[in-house]
């Protein structure tokens, strides 16, 4: 665990100091892996919890990584691009001794992106005095990023949903409501539409639309990506209303704590696919279980992103380039394997999907620790 204050020279010549964090939770399965978020509310407890969840997510996905997370207490909206770059490079300067391709591999997270990752990789290589593209994933493809990374989380979620629907015997042409039209939600709508699902509702932070006959997803995405406008593609609904629509599958793909004690009894979907991190509170999750509403947990549903980050790291370390088709095929194979591993635990223990995922993840980590001689199994 590292907690440091990062000094950054601002455009006006003053120096601001930003609290920062990097926590490596467990590395028994390999180098640790986890994003870096820029947010004014990030703190040590949050980063520690997220590092734990990354440990389980990597284990569930079958990746040879441990879990880590990082963050900086900053509102990036208040920084110029130059200040943002200096902050990002300063983060690497402060933490260069604890990160590395065989130590700890950061990636994008809240309010960080491929551009920030490019700055960080460049700074690490400057400090290390050698080429090391595998130190960071989520980079632009021009400097070692992987094909398919932009939509990997969504494609992985679509593969998991296909497996889940088949296992549960839910049928075809299912109605799906998606809360969140950021990168994950918009690509997921596209992939589900292509797979024959009926996307009946979508929303962003300002609200959404509902069409019981199904939204024209290609036209909606063209308009939304051009103008940010959902008007005209269905009846207006609020985000709260979307969560209570009568759909086969509800997909919270925005932010945490959306299904809570206050609204859980109004959720009418037959199943929930968690594409956001932590969108269901623990007590609401328990209530859904009591009602017989299965929840595909975030550490499985959205593991496609870290999986393709792993593929990026493999390509960097081997100095290889994989075509987009190869990346997508390997992602689908990895996600099916992850689903089936959790399915087996669920069947053997009569557990919820979330409990099975946690049990599977913890046991996978404990097995690694046992083989190292650190615990008895």
57 is annotated as contributing to ligand binding: yes
Q: Is 183 annotated as contributing to ligand binding?
A: yes
Give, in order, the Cα–Cα distances in Å from 109 to each of 66, 106, 113, 150: 17, 9, 7, 13
Residue in 150, 153, 132 with CA at minimum distance from that of residue 141: 150
Q: Tell me the DSSP string of 135-151.
A: G--S--GGGTPPTT-TT
Which residue, chain included where needed, has tokens 């691009």? Answer: 81
Distances (CA, A) of 250 to 21, 40, 144, 242: 34, 30, 35, 9
309 annotated as belonging to a binding site for a ligand: yes
* DSSP character at residue 30: S
| Count of alpha carbons within 13 angstroms of residue 325, beta-carbon side | 0
User: Mapping DSSP to helix (H, G, I), strand (E, B) and coil, where does residue 89 land?
Assistant: helix
**Greatest Cα pair distance in the chain:** 63
- Of the listed 69, 115, 139, 326, which one is catalytic? 69
Residue 153 annotated as binding site: yes
- Residue 181 in contact with residue 275, Cβ under 8 Å? no
Strands 175-179 and 249-252: parallel
What is the C-alpha separation between 353 and 99, in angstroms, rounded?
Answer: 33
Let me know: does 332 contact 303? Beta carbons within 8 Å.
no
Please confirm, yes or no, whether 69 is among the known catalytic residues. yes
* DSSP one-letter string for 215-255: --HHHHHHHHHHHS--TTSSEEE-HHHHTTS--SEEEE-S-
What is d(CA 117, CA 265) in angstroms, rounded to the nearest whole number?
41
Closest CA to 176 of 92, 62, 100, 270: 270
- Residue 260 assigned as binding residue: no
Binding-site residues from annotation for substrate = 33, 57, 309
Task: Give catalytic residue positions.
Answer: 69
Residue numbers belonging to the annotated binding site for NAD(+)? 153, 183
């Amino acid at each position: 665990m590292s907690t440091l204050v990062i000094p950054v020279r601002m455009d006006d010549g003053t120096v601001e100091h930003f609290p920062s964090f990097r926590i490596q939770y467990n590395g028994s399965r390999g180098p640790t892996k986890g994003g870096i978020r820029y947010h004014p509310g990030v703190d040590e407890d949050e980063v520690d919890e997220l590092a734990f969840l990354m440990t389980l997510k990597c284990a569930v996905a079958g990746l040879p990584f441990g879990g880590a997370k990082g963050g900086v207490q900053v509102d990036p909206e208040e920084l110029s691009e130059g200040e943002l770059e200096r902050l990002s490079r300063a983060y690497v300067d402060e933490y260069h001794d604890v990160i590395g391709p065989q130590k700890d591999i950061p990636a994008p997270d809240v309010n960080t992106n491929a551009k920030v990752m490019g700055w960080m990789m460049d700074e690490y290589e400057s400090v290390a005095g050698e080429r090391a593209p595998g130190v960071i994933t989520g980079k632009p493809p021009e400097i070692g990023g992987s094909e398919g990374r932009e939509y990997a989380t969504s494609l992985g979620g679509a593969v998991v949903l296909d497996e889940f629907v088949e296992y549960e015997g839910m049928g075809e042409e299912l109605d799906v409501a998606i809360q969140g039209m950021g990168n994950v939600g918009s690509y997921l709508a596209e992939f589900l539409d292509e797979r024959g699902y009926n996307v009946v509702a979508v929303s962003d932070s300002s609200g959404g639309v509902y069409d019981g006959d199904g939204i024209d997803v290609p036209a909606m995405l063209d308009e939304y990506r051009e103008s940010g406008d959902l008007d005209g593609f269905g009846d207006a609904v609020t985000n709260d209303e979307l969560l209570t629509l009568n759909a086969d599958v509800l997909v919270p793909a925005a932010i945490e704590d959306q299904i809570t004690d206050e609204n859980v009894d109004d959720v009418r979907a037959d199943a929930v696919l968690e594409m956001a991190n932590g969108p269901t509170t623990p007590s609401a999750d328990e209530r859904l279980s009591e009602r017989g509403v299965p929840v595909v947990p975030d550490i499985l549903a959205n593991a496609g992103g870290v999986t393709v980050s792993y593929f990026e790291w493999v390509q960097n370390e081997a100095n290889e380039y994989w075509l987009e088709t190869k990346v997508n095929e390997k992602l689908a194979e990895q996600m099916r394997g992850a689903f089936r591993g959790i399915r087996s635990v669920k069947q053997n223990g009569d557990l919820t999907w979330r409990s099975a995922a946690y049990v599977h993840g913890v046991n996978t980590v404990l097995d690694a620790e046992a083989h190292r001689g650190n615990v008895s199994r």
